[in-house]
Amino acid sequence: MGRKKIALIGGGQIGGIMALLAAQREMGDVVLLDIPEKENVVKGKMLDLTETNPLFSSSSCLTGTKNYADLAGADVTITTAGLPRKPGMSREDLLNINLQIISEVATNLKKYCPDAFHIVVTNPLDSMVFAFMKVSGLPKHKIAGMAGVLDTARFRSFVGMELNVSPKDVSALVLGGHGPTMVPLARLATVGGIPLSELLPQEKIDAIVYRTREAGTEIVNLLGSGSAYFSPATSAIEMAEAYLKDQKRILTCAAYLNGEYGITGYYIGVPAIIGAGGVEKVLEVKLTDSEKAALNNSLEAVKKAVAETKL
């Protein structure tokens, strides 16, 4: 059983941190790919990281490249390639640019890593993971979007902050698309096994739900330029590790639905078992009428975004 190979497409903020995490956890060898203009940047980042190996006692080989051929045989790929939204750029402009980038990435990954588990992080997430599936034509359960792990982690963090307890002991589930229509299922959240509703009044829970939905924007506003990177990077690596180590973890991610939750033909955030088979199973949870309505509302937003890709 040789070393695992992790291909990171997009060597920006998230890509760099994912390389660091993968090396620290000694998940395998890591190749970081970016556009030709950034070739030296990714080579520099990976050399810098290589020099941390003795300090972290890691043996991972870390390389930067502009050539997809160097990704050949990767076990897992994580795509963050894309442009961030700039002032004056409409959502449609961003979608069209990132759609082109994702199409190029998907075509190359199909060629060089057809057997890998592919994780898409580029925003707008719900339509980009759909586009990756359409363009690559790769098996739908071997492609997933990273959103739910992050949205859930945000919810758990806010609960921990509010109760002054470790977020490790907070369990929660956030369904739906990656955006303001997401559906944090506060009803099912527990803290050390105790229902959240027994520990916090409804208005505090509502405030946490609201903050979770807006958490990405809150960070964008604080940073001034760019978007969150530590938490998205850690979330995507969590998914990659579950696949590489066949952990059968239940992680919420944008998974392709085939009738689950009454939805067919779309990627949307649901709890899924991730193991060596990729997305091995989508878990269904009984929803209340209002939760169903909220999920449908989120699905409509996802459908609209997917329709804009014209795929």
Q: Name the residues annotated as catalytic.
A: 178
Contact between 39 and ligand APR per CB under 6 A: no
Can you state the angle between helices 230-244 and 148-163, rounded to 10 degrees? Answer: 120
CB of 82 to ligand APR, least distance (A): 4
Contact between 80 and ligand APR per CB under 6 A: yes
Contact between 138 and ligand APR per CB under 6 A: no
Q: How far is CA 301 from CA 11, 99, 224, 267, in A?
A: 29, 17, 27, 12
* CA–CA gap between residue 188 and residue 270 (Å, rounded): 14
Contact between 35 and ligand APR per CB under 6 A: yes
Say how many residues touch ligand APR, by CB under 6 A.
Answer: 24
Ranked by CB distance to ligand APR, the top (closest) residue is 12
Do residues 151 and 184 make contact, with C-beta atoms less than 8 angstroms apart?
A: yes
Contact between 12 and ligand APR per CB under 6 A: yes
Could you give phi then psi for residue 284, rounded to 5 degrees? -105, 140
Closer residue to ligand APR in complex, CB, 12/275: 12
The region, left, alpha or beta by phi > 0 then psi within -120 to 50, assigned to residue 143 is beta
What type of residue is 309?
Answer: T
According to CB under 6 A, which residues from 97 to 136 bind ligand APR?
Answer: 101, 104, 121-123
According to CB under 6 A, which residues from 179 to 238 bind ligand APR?
Answer: 226-227, 229, 232
Could you give phi then psi for residue 25, rounded to 5 degrees? -85, 5
Q: Segment near ligand APR (CB under 6 A), from 3-11, 21-29, 185-193, 261-269?
A: 3-11
Positions in the binding site for ligand APR (CB under 6 A): 9-15, 33-35, 38, 80-82, 84, 101, 104, 121-123, 226-227, 229, 232
